[in-house]
């Protein structure tokens, strides 16, 4: 009897196709979409995802998730929300420590409750241990796939020897178990999506929030994909069919005593400001002005226009618009941050320091704003500000160890003080965070030789020098 390794070329091709089908199922498992995708092709998350970092947006998302995580018993797990620069509506979890949310999910969610509902659903996946269970299910399915392949190979050999014409049926013997495996796997995924919906509603009710936003979001995207869904086999989808899922969710959501509860006006304003900011930083000037015309004098609209104005070169007008917003919201740290960022990017580093210092104070030391302040202090080329720059950057990096820009500015500041070992170590840490392991090792080795053995700098350098990438 032949093994799969020695099977005929035709059989090998069928085994490859069967394995590909299973791999596709595994790929779908990596993406826990909050809404149905309209595109036919999907890709799994990877380390190369373009990330958006913004102190204002991240703080708001932390406030959205904090009570949900507490209700789920995950408040001590240090779960963070990561923003992906993708305008398609999507949210997913790829591990037990991060919830990934696309830019499109944030900008398309018109109320806080809508995005909170999405976050509650994704928290349901983490709380339910779905990732680990899916990996276990995949392993079981892979074992079944191997057995099916071997059975098919054996049938092919037997048929070749003339045993009851079984060789003619071998392709069906091989592919039928694969189809069954794929359907079983996708059925398991659909059940977990339904479970995450139920858990999400439970967490919202425990925090006295409405599940209406979750229902509205899923219902909107179900309608968008209804035509596509009517043309596909419901048993080959990784999510429940739209009608079925929405009906189940609607029945569950409307039982909540908080179904008609509205978001507080002040939270809605912050949400609208966040959306305006994201639109203005990611859209063209023309698109921003069409979305927020000058006839719209709401704070979010004026915020978006101020950002767009500075991004497209009219610093003077932008600063005037920002100053009006600051006069109306004097305790909003992100308006001062915007003023400082506009000045810094215009080459006015010294003028940026004042508003950025104020932003750091009002935000209670937000790491991303401290990095911006440190950058402004360094870019003045004023040696008297070097110690302050180092203090700000080190404080920021302590909170954000992966802040590559902070390490770059810190390296410049240390070099300006003549502290070459720490400058080399900072450059090594920047290179490491950027994935340039070879350069990081070279710089860390040079830094390590200059540090006393066993000192903190020596240990940090040694960690980089001896780093071994994990095996995939």
Domain residues for 128? 4-253
Q: What is the pLDDT along the chain (472 residues), one digit of tens a residue?
A: 433 333 333 433 333 333 333 333 333 333 333 332 222 223 333 345 688 999 999 999 999 999 999 999 999 988 999 999 999 888 888 777 889 999 999 999 999 999 999 999 999 988 876 454 545 544 554 444 444 444 444 444 444 444 454 444 444 433 444 554 444 444 445 567 788 898 999 999 999 999 999 999 888 877 765 433 333 343 334 444 567 778 888 999 999 999 999 999 999 999 999 999 999 999 999 999 999 999 999 999 999 999 999 999 899 999 999 999 999 999 999 999 999 999 999 999 999 999 999 999 999 999 999 999 999 999 999 999 999 999 999 999 998 877 778 999 999 999 999 999 999 999 999 999 888 999 999 999 999 999 999 999 999 999 999 998 876 5
Q: How far apart are CA 444 and CA 442, in angstroms?
A: 6
Domain assignment present for 161: yes
Q: How far apart are CA 12 and CA 9, in angstroms?
A: 5
- pLDDT score, position 451: 96
Domain assignment present for 463: no
| CA 166 to mean position of chain CA atoms | 50
**Contact of 118 with 217, CB cutoff 8 Å:** yes
- Which residues lie below 8 Å from residue 94, measured CB to CB, with a gap of 6+? 30, 45, 100, 131
User: Which spans in 297-381 are helix H?
Assistant: 299-311, 315-328, 333-345, 349-362, 367-379
* Residue 83, strand partner residues: 52, 101
- pLDDT score, position 404: 72
- pLDDT score, position 224: 64
- pLDDT score, position 248: 87
Domain assignment present for 110: yes
Domain assignment present for 173: yes
Domain assignment present for 8: yes
Domain assignment present for 223: yes
Task: Give the relative orientation of helices 55-71 and 166-206 as an angle to the nearest 10 degrees.
Answer: 90
Total structural domains within the chain: 1
Report DSSP state, residue 84. Answer: E
Q: How far apart are CA 299 and CA 378, in angstroms?
A: 33
- pLDDT score, position 225: 55
Could you tell me the strand order of the sheet in which 80-84 lies? 51-52, 80-84, 98-102, 91-93
Residue 92 three-state SS: strand
Reading the block at residue 70, the tokens are 């507490």
| CA 136 to mean position of chain CA atoms | 24
- Which residues lie below 8 Å from residue 176, measured CB to CB, with a gap of 6+? none
Q: How far apart are CA 286 and CA 44, in angstroms?
A: 33
Q: What is the largest CA-CA distance in the chain?
A: 91
Domain assignment present for 260: no
Residue 230 three-state SS: coil
Opening angle at CA 343, ends 375 and 382, nearest 5: 45
> Residue 38, Cβ neighbours under 10 Å: how many?
12
- pLDDT score, position 464: 96
- pLDDT score, position 169: 42
pTM of the model: 0.76
- pLDDT score, position 471: 67
Domain assignment present for 261: no
- pLDDT score, position 94: 78
């Amino acid at each position: 009897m032949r093994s799969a390794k020695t099977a005929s070329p035709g059989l090998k091709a069928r085994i490859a196709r069967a394995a590909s089908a299973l791999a596709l199922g595994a790929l779908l498992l990596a993406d826990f979409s909050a809404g149905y995708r309209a595109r036919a092709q999907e890709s799994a998350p990877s380390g190369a995802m373009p990330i958006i970092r913004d102190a204002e947006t991240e703080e708001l998302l932390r406030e959205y998730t904090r009570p949900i995580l507490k209700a789920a018993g995950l408040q001590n797990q240090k779960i963070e929300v990561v923003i992906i620069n993708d305008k398609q509506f999507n949210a997913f979890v790829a591990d037990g420590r991060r919830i990934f949310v696309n830019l499109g999910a944030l900008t398309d969610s018109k109320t806080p409750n809508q995005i909170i509902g999405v976050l509650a659903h994704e928290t349901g996946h983490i709380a339910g241990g779905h990732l680990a269970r899916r990996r276990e299910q995949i392993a079981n399915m892979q074992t079944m796939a191997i057995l099916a392949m071997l059975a098919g190979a054996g049938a092919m050999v037997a048929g070749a020897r003339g045993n009851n014409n079984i060789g003619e049926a071998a392709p069906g013997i091989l592919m039928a178990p694969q189809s069954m495996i794929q359907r079983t796997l996708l059925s398991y995924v659909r059940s977990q999506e339904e479970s995450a919906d139920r858990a999400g509603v439970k967490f919202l009710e425990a925090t006295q929030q409405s599940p209406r936003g979750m229902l509205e979001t899923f219902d909107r995207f179900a309608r968008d994909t209804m035509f596509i869904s009517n043309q596909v086999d419901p048993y080959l989808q990784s999510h429940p069919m739209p009608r079925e899922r929405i009906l189940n969710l609607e029945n569950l959501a409307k039982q909540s005593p908080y179904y008609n509860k509205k978001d507080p006006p002040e939270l809605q304003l912050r949400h609208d400001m966040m959306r305006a900011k994201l639109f203005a930083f990611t859209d063209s000037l023309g698109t921003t002005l069409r979305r927020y015309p000058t006839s719209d004098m709401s704070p979010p609209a004026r915020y978006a226009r101020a950002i767009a104005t500075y991004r497209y070169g009219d610093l003077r007008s932008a600063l005037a618009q920002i100053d009006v917003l600051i006069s109306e919201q004097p305790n909003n740290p992100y308006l001062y941050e915007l003023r400082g960022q506009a000045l810094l990017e215009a080459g006015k580093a010294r003028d940026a320091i004042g508003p950025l210092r104020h932003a750091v104070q009002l935000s209670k030391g937000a790491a991303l704003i401290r990095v911006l302040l440190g950058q402004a202090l360094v870019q003045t080329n004023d040696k008297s500000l070097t110690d302050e720059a180092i203090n700000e950057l080190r404080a920021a990096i302590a909170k954000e160890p992966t802040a590559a820009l902070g390490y770059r500015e810190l390296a410049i500041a240390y070099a300006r003080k003549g502290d070459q070992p720490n400058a080399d170590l900072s450059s090594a840490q920047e290179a490491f965070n950027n994935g340039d392991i070879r350069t990081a090792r070279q710089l860390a080795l040079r830094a390590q030789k200059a540090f006393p053995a066993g000192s903190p700098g020596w240990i940090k350098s040694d960690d980089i020098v001896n780093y071994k990438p994990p095996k995939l």
